[in-house]
Chains A and B, each alone.
Chain A
Amino acid sequence: MREPPPSPVDAHSDAFLTRLMRDQLKLSIACALCFAVALVALPLMNYFQPEFMAQRVFGFTLTWLILGVLFFPFVWIISFVFIQRSIALENAEAKAAQDGQSK
């Protein structure tokens, strides 16, 4: 995610609120999209490529392995990335707003 502009801002301005919500929402939507693509794609793959998804991997079928095991760590990675970036974003915003107040 991109860093918010470093210029000092007034915490009570409309511009600050709009940017605050836009940056946070952008990050949330980017992460949600990663997740949604996987959720939409897996049933579609099952629907259109049943033979491919039924091949055996370590005794599991491919689709069983993905849904029953691999899906969990995939979501942990998304949430970890989100938390790191979201907290960094908050700190940057707080700093920018406090600079604006002290001026």
Chain B
Amino acid sequence: MSSLLAFLAAETAPKQVDPWIAFFSLITVVVTVGMGFWTAGKSKSAGDFFVAGRSVSVGWNASAISGEYLSAASFMGVAGMVMATGYDALWYPVCYACGYLFLLLFIAGPLRRFGAYTIPDFAEGRYDSPVFRKIAVCFVLFIGFFYTMPQMKGAGTTLAYIFPGLPYWAGVVVVGAVITLNVSLGGMKGITLVQAFQYWLKVFAITLPIFILAAVVGHYQQHLAGNKTAQEAAATVLPGIERKALPAKAPKDEAWIAPFGKLTTKAVDASIAAATTPEAKASLESVKKPYSLLYTYSLIIALVCGTAGLPHILVRFYTNPDGVAAKRTTMWVMILIGVFYVFPPVYGVIGRSLTPELYDAVGAKGTDKVVLELPTLLAGRDHALLGSILSGITCAGAFAAFMSTFSGLLVSMSSALAHDIYGRMLRPDSSPEQRLKAFKWSALIVGLVAVGLGSQVEALEINFMVGQAFAIAAASYFPLLFMSVWWRGMTMRGAATGMLVGGLSALASISLTSISDVAVAKAKKLADAAELAAYWADHPLAKAIADYWVAHPLARILCEQPAIWAVALSIGLMFIVSKATAASIPPDIRMKMLVLHAPEALGLKQEYIKEHEGLGGH
């Protein structure tokens, strides 16, 4: 165990693999793959693969959705971000959990009643337009790939932690291969069971270690009390609560515990550092707090609306038997994930007191691994075995986290390729067997691309990347679903324009920030001035963008968190274009709206299908 602690102090020293950590992680992988094989024999039809036969009970489905949703970002990223940036990072877990409320209030029930396989199915069914299906498919892939990148980073980080010396990309490749195999074997039905199991594993893995740890080293609020606020003269370090000295890189107590800290002021801080005159510095200081407020609201909109527009979550609502079950499932999901989300910040807070050395490291060895690191502290307190076992359990939880979310993403993206592109566009006359085969090949292709992308993002924070996937979903799918379900006057052109412009502009502005951030992170590693100059000369675009951010911090904030304008833009365009093309409202709009909103007891859904029998049905 001590070897692991030493590993932190001297990263280059030869390291040993902790047998307990390796053991627990291996068990998780073996059980996951085993369950995949076991259910593979039971998944036969296309329905089983795409929507698990539409017969999953509320309890199973709620556990499975929660298991799929609690990703590497939730398990490791939230704790790491709370530790790194403090109070503002709390918005992530809160909005991840509470975003489901919008889904419940406006989308879950009607969407399930409409009875399509996937979101592109819904898009086509609601507007009778095959073109629109193609646009919707593209967004499944955009959002999906943005969301897989942080999962891959979680995989790389965790494996590099368990097997010190293993390069980051190796973890990405190993985990990508295992999951791709699993999904192509069992499809949706296979992963429903696996994910339900993984939810409970994750809750166990996040709660048990922190309860034991808190009993030994002190509780959540005791460690929080050690951080002094701006109003307090000195920190009240309670007796028995240890607090290690913070390194220079760590944010100060006052900024960390209070709202509008490092996370939201980063852009303005960079400009202040670059400002040359005292007047320029002073004027930037005066806008710092209002800009922070803007950042906070934009983040909240991205996370709350984004949750209601994540394709891999939405596809799960089709596995409910009916609309009422879909609503009940959503409520249980909120309770299950809410319980989970109380705990990751606890790791961040205690980590700040006890493992401040993580502030000095970057990439896979930085604050993102505080959840894995913290339990090993027990080793230094005469509980060596317990520390190893608990660290093994949190590693197993981390494995479950990125494995389950990646499986879910893989299913929804493979479905989009196999069901929507192959089955509906390329070969509409293909047999179910051919589509199943297409599903397996799609899984393989998506898995390969995800591994390729994942190996490029070591420099970016897990949680930050997930937030960006949410922002794209918030500006594309959320307005589409919300407006399609509740407004009779929507036309296909309105929906498509709003979704394309909103989603693509969010995607573009986010890509700009990510590209320049990755370049800046690489540049920071170059110590030599000549090398640095050569590096920037090779990357003139990234340099231009980075310089522009420094000169225009407001533009940087609006590009980093685009939801506040992109969601409004998307909904506004949908409204205006639909009004302009009101002649093309689908003629049977009243029937479609009835199907979306009337209780199933009336049996209107069957009538809808009958009317459309001649057209191929749904």
Contact = CB atoms under 8 A, between A and B. Distances in A.
Nearest to B254: A54
A17 to B, nearest CB: 6
A32 B87 CA distance: 25
A97 B327 contact: no
B328 interface: yes
A43 interface: yes
Given A17-B593, A83-B327, A91 B599 contact: yes
A73 B335 CA distance: 8
Given A59-B225, A61-B229, A17 B590 contact: yes
Q: Chain A's interface: helix, strand, loop or mixed, by majority?
A: helix
B211 interface: no
B603 to A, nearest CB: 9
A11 B601 CA distance: 12
Nearest to B294: A43
A32 B331 contact: no
B304 A21 contact: no
Contact of A79 (B90, B334, B486, B602): B334
B345 A68 contact: yes
Given A51-B231, A79-B104, A93-B599, A69 B224 contact: no
B585 interface: no
B361 interface: no
A68 B258 contact: no
A82 B335 contact: no
B518 interface: no
Nearest to A73: B338
A39 B334 contact: no
A59 B237 CA distance: 11
A97 B334 CA distance: 32
Interface residues of A, number: 50
A9 to B, nearest CB: 11
Given A31-B105, A98-B602, A80 B331 contact: yes
Contact of A82 (B91, B104, B300): B104
The interface centre, meaning the residue of A50, A51, A71, A73 with most chain B CB atoms within 10 A of its CB, is: A71
B222 A75 contact: no
A56 B225 contact: yes
A67 interface: yes
A47 B100 CA distance: 26
Interface in B72-113: 87, 90-91, 93-94, 97-98, 100-102, 104-106, 109
B485 to A, nearest CB: 9
Contacts of A31: 101, 105
B324 interface: yes
Interface string A58-92: 11110110011101110110111011001100110
Given A21-B597, A75-B338, A83-B328, A32 B101 contact: yes
A17 B597 contact: yes
Given A20-B598, A97-B602, A78 B101 contact: yes
The interface centre, meaning the residue of B259, B297, B331, B590 with most chain A CB atoms within 10 A of its CB, is: B259
Contacts of B324: 87, 90
A47 B334 contact: no
Nearest to B104: A79
B80 to A, nearest CB: 16
B501 to A, nearest CB: 25
A24 B590 CA distance: 16
Contact of B94 (A12, A53, A72, A97): A72
Interface in B499-549: none
B604 interface: yes
A9 B321 CA distance: 27
A76 B100 CA distance: 10
A46 B87 CA distance: 11
B334 A76 contact: yes
The interface centre, meaning the residue of B90, B100, B258, B599 with most chain A CB atoms within 10 A of its CB, is: B599
Interface of B: 87, 90-91, 93-94, 97-98, 100-102, 104-106, 109, 220-222, 224-225, 229-231, 257-260, 289, 293, 296-297, 300, 304, 324, 327-328, 330-331, 334-335, 338-339, 341-342, 345, 486, 590, 593-594, 597-599, 601-602, 604
5 contacts: A17-B594, A46-B258, A47-B260, A50-B230, A75-B98
Given A79-B104, A79-B334, A83-B104, 5 more contacts: A12-B594, A32-B102, A43-B259, A91-B601, A98-B601
